[in-house]
Amino acid sequence: MPMTLTQKILAAHCGREEVKKGDLIFADVDLTMGNDITASAAIAEFNRAAEKTTNPDRIVMVMDHFVPNKDIKAAEQCKTCRSFCRAQGIDKFYDVGEMGIEHTLLPDKGLVTAGDLVIGADSHTCTYGALGAFSTGVGSTDMAYAMASGKVWFKVPAAIRFVLRGKFQKNVSGKDLILYIIGKIGVDGALYRSMEFVGDGVKALEMCDRFTVCNMAIEAGAKNGVFPVDEKTAAYLKEHGAAEPKIFEADADAEYEATYEIDLSELEPTVAFPYLPENARTVSEIDEDIFIDQVVIGSCTNGRIEDLRRAAAVMGRRKVAEGVRAIIIPATQQIYLQAIKEGLIQQFVNAGCVVSTPTCGPCLGGYMGILAAGEKAVSTTNRNFVGRMGHRESQVYLASPATAAACAVAGKLISPNALEV
């Protein structure tokens, strides 16, 4: 029976020669991940059902949402995770000083490789599909079960294929691609489907672009997003010391519920308007001045070194517009150090930006960038729901790092290609 890339990975992890969409399976998990918010709930569930994990080497916890701790509740959640990892012998525990935003940290630490099955108690765990892995978000109860047994259950998803052609124009990136896709199919357009990206255009996407695209697959309702393994994937895995990849390929006659052809050269800088990621419009379509109060460049979606480089290239020697708060958040400590080495941090500070330690804080309205009533923000994060980054009457516009940087210096929504030289 022909299978998609996702189905082949799932079949390999449940000991079956083949699976088909709709099958219910129990699968072996290569890595189970939790953070300071979700892991504490999973630990409570684990303690009700088990005493000792059988697979401490396949569990990772990252303190990244509210750290350094913003309040007493956040401190207690981290303490719970810290104590549990010590008691269970879990050494893949990343705390203040060595942590980073989880979905950038795990690949950069070489903890995920091609062909893996990874679950995480965070919806954006689908990021690792960029490496040719099956990865998806689960609830804290499923995380607890996986910590105890090393297994998790799935309904095998159907798939949608996205055939990519050509290459990006100037200042267009993976963020513009995924916003375009979500705008086209809607926030439920891939509901419990696998989004599989193929075509000669894949080679034009850098790894940072692939991570961004897979990261936001969940914003189309997808179970996962996944790219095939190629030379760029292999080079990334080798550079970061990942385990030997297990490479799977979709069968030529695999079944897809829909196929979309996308010419990358036709894409433009794109912004998702409030209050859904599907409200995507090219910046050139905006026929009014939309002035902003804040810009955030970072998150698990766009906090990589390439993202900071792209933002810095657009910003140049310009200053942040008067009245705009610009927040830069490198996704890991290593990215922070690299940005210092390359002079990017000095450039951002000289421009009037503030630079934060790695954290998810502002993305989910936690801290480090809360919006007041009526304020507007351009953000490289992944969600712009009502109240997502603060007050229910605030507004969030999702954009790429290049577009966000342009908006920071212009003080309004603008294309990075529209800035005066």
Dump pLDDT digits (tens) for 115-156. 999 999 999 999 999 999 999 999 999 999 999 999 999 999
Contacts of 158 (CB under 8 A, 6+ apart): 21, 22, 192, 193, 194, 255, 256, 257
Query: What mean pLDDT, rounded, does the chain reach?
Result: 96
Contacts of 204 (CB under 8 A, 6+ apart): 164, 166, 167, 168, 264
Dump pLDDT digits (tens) for 52-88. 998 999 999 999 999 999 999 999 999 999 999 999 9
Whether 349 has a pLDDT exceeding 60, the answer reads yes
Dump pLDDT digits (tens) for 289-338. 999 999 999 999 999 999 999 999 999 999 999 999 999 999 999 999 99
Give the up-direction half-sphere exposure of residue 119: CA atoms within 13 A in the CB hemisphere. Answer: 24
DSSP 371-420: BPTT-EEEESSS---TTTTB-TT-EEEE--HHHHHHHHHHTB---GGGS-
Return the amino acid letter for 118: V
Q: How far apart are CA 375 and CA 396, in angstroms?
A: 9
What is the model's pLDDT at position 99? 87
Both tokens assigned to 252: 């030529």
Q: For the chain, how far is it from start to end, CA to CA, in angstroms?
A: 56
* Residue 372 buriedness (CB in 10 A; 0-12 / 13-18 / 19+): exposed
Residue 380 near residue 400, CB atoms below 8 Å: yes
What is the model's pLDDT at position 180? 98
Spans of all domains in the chain: 12-263, 271-415
Query: Which region, left, alpha or beta, applies to residue 305 given φ > 0 means left and ψ of -120 to 50 means alpha?
Result: alpha
Q: Any idea what DSSP says for residue 268? A: -
pTM score, two decimals? 0.96
Q: How far apart are CA 371 and CA 77, in angstroms?
A: 24
Omega before 68 within 30 of 0, i.e. cis:
yes
Whether 419 has a pLDDT exceeding 90, the answer reads no
Buried b (16+ CB within 10 A) or exposed e, 116-126: bbbbbbbbbbb
pLDDT (average), residues 365-383: 97
Whether 214 has a pLDDT exceeding 90, the answer reads yes
Cα 64 to Cα 36, 38, 53, 329, 421: the distances in Å are 7, 11, 23, 12, 38
Whether 51 has a pLDDT exceeding 70, the answer reads yes
Backbone dihedral angles phi then psi of residue 63, each to the nearest 5 degrees: -90, 100
Q: How far apart are CA 101 and CA 334, in angstroms?
A: 11
The C-alpha angle with vertex 275 and arms to 301 and 170, in degrees rounded to 5, equals 45
Three-class DSSP category at 365 = coil
Three-class DSSP category at 66 = coil
DSSP 149-161: HSEEEEEPPEEEE
Nearest to 143 by CA among 134, 133, 151: 151
| Domain 12-263 shares a fold with domain 271-415 | yes
Helix (H) / strand (E) element for 119: namely strand 117-120
Parallel/antiparallel/unpaired status of strands 270-272 and 193-198: unpaired
Dump pLDDT digits (tens) for 1-33. 899 999 999 999 999 999 999 999 999 999 999
Q: Report the percentage of the chain scoring pLDDT > 70.
A: 100
Q: How far apart are CA 21 and CA 323, in angstroms?
A: 52
Nearest to 220 by CA among 353, 332, 86, 126: 126
Give the Cβ contact number of residue 392 at 10 Å: 11
Q: How far apart are CA 276 and CA 386, in angstroms?
A: 8
Buried b (16+ CB within 10 A) or exposed e, 129-142: bbbbbbbbbbebeb
According to CATH, the topology of domain 271-415 is Aconitase; domain 3 (3.30.499)
What is the model's pLDDT at position 420? 63
According to CATH, the topology of domain 12-263 is Aconitase; domain 3 (3.30.499)
